[in-house]
């Protein structure tokens, strides 16, 4: 699936690694699938990638730490690129548990995963050792009833899932350039963002974390005023 292109591994914040696999979608279209690894006493992998990308993702994790030592496998919502390789990683890492919101656990994960989920409640913090992650329920933002996101409090990193999605294969690990314009152009073209009355208060709440690093699932990670970026997204989504 990776079309012979090597998966890259880059440290985007202290102890946080972006694992990125570019793919060809056909017709001259490309895309990146990014997973994020927090290396700590209780290592956490956010997104697993698709089942078909498991070997590439596993090998990339192994460049940082033994994949068998993973403790938490987390994701935003139930979708192939979010958790398609969940059971592959659970089988590899005997102490690992899925970490997700209550809706994802009840509607999908506790039926399909080989181990039950550890449910993260809205606003809950979980210590990994040096790092602490906070879970946010974000229903329908950008899509899926069970959607949720996490932030890492010490590095001010927001793992923002499908927010700020950009297409194309050639994305460096980091950018400080505009990502709102390209991501909004893609949103308008694909219509993947649910138009919901809950989106603005959710985005405002995420802005309250004052993130400095946006760990995007598709495209480069971004460094800058994350609160301002999230509020600009809320304004743009509010306009339709």
What pLDDT was estimated at residue 179? 97
The candidate with the shortest Cα–Cα distance to 128, out of 46, 49, 41, 194, is 41
Residue 221, in any domain of the structure: yes
Residue 151, in any domain of the structure: yes
Let me know the angle formed at the C-alpha of 203 by 177 and 30, rounded to the nearest 5 degrees: 45
Residue 17, in any domain of the structure: yes
End-to-end CA gap in the chain:
34
Query: Which CATH number does the domain housing residue 34 bear?
Result: 3.60.15.10
What pLDDT was estimated at residue 54? 97
| Mean per-residue pLDDT pooled into runs of 10, the chain (240 residues) | 72 98 87 97 98 96 98 97 98 98 98 98 98 97 95 98 94 96 93 82 97 97 98 90
90: domain range? 8-238
Edge-to-edge strand ranges of the sheet holding 97-100: 8-13, 16-26, 29-38, 44-46, 72-74, 97-100, 118-119
Residue 1, in any domain of the structure: no
Residue 114, in any domain of the structure: yes
Q: How many domains does the chain have?
A: 1
Residue 2, in any domain of the structure: no
Distances (CA, A) of 118 to 1, 7, 72, 102, 218: 30, 29, 9, 9, 26
Distances (CA, A) of 213 to 77, 151, 173, 233: 21, 10, 12, 16
pTM as predicted: 0.95
Tokens of 113: 């995963």
Residue 163, in any domain of the structure: yes
What pLDDT was estimated at residue 16? 98
Q: Where are the beta strands (DSSP E) in the chain?
A: 8-13, 16-26, 29-38, 44-46, 72-74, 97-100, 118-119, 125-127, 132-137, 148-152, 157-159, 174-175, 213-215, 221-223
């Amino acid at each position: 699936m990776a079309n012979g292109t090597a998966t890259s591994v880059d440290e985007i914040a202290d102890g946080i690694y972006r694992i990125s696999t570019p793919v060809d979608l056909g017709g001259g279209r490309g895309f990146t699938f990014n997973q994020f690894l927090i290396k700590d006493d209780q290592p956490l992998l956010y997104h697993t990638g698709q089942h078909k990308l498991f070997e590439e993702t596993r090998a990339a994790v192994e460049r940082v730490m033994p994949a068998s030592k993973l403790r938490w496998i987390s994701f935003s919502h139930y979708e192939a690129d979010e958790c398609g390789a969940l059971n592959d990683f659970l089988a590899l890492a005997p102490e690992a548990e899925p970490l997700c919101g209550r809706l994802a656990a009840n509607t999908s994960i506790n039926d399909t995963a080989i181990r039950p989920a550890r449910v993260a409640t809205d606003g809950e913090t979980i210590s990994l050792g040096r790092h602490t992650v906070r879970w946010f329920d974000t229903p329908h933002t950008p899509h899926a009833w069970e959607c949720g996101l996490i932030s890492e409090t010490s590095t001010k990193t927001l793992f923002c899932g499908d927010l700020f999605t950009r297409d194309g294969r050639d994305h460096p690990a980091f950018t400080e350039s505009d990502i709102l314009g390209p991501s909004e152009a893609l949103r308008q073209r694909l219509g993947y963002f649910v138009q919901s009355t809950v989106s603005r208060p959710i985005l405002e709440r995420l802005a309250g974390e004052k993130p400095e690093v946006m760990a995007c699932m598709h495209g480069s990670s971004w460094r800058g005023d994350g609160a301002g970026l999230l509020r600009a997204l809320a304004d743009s989504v509010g306009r339709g």
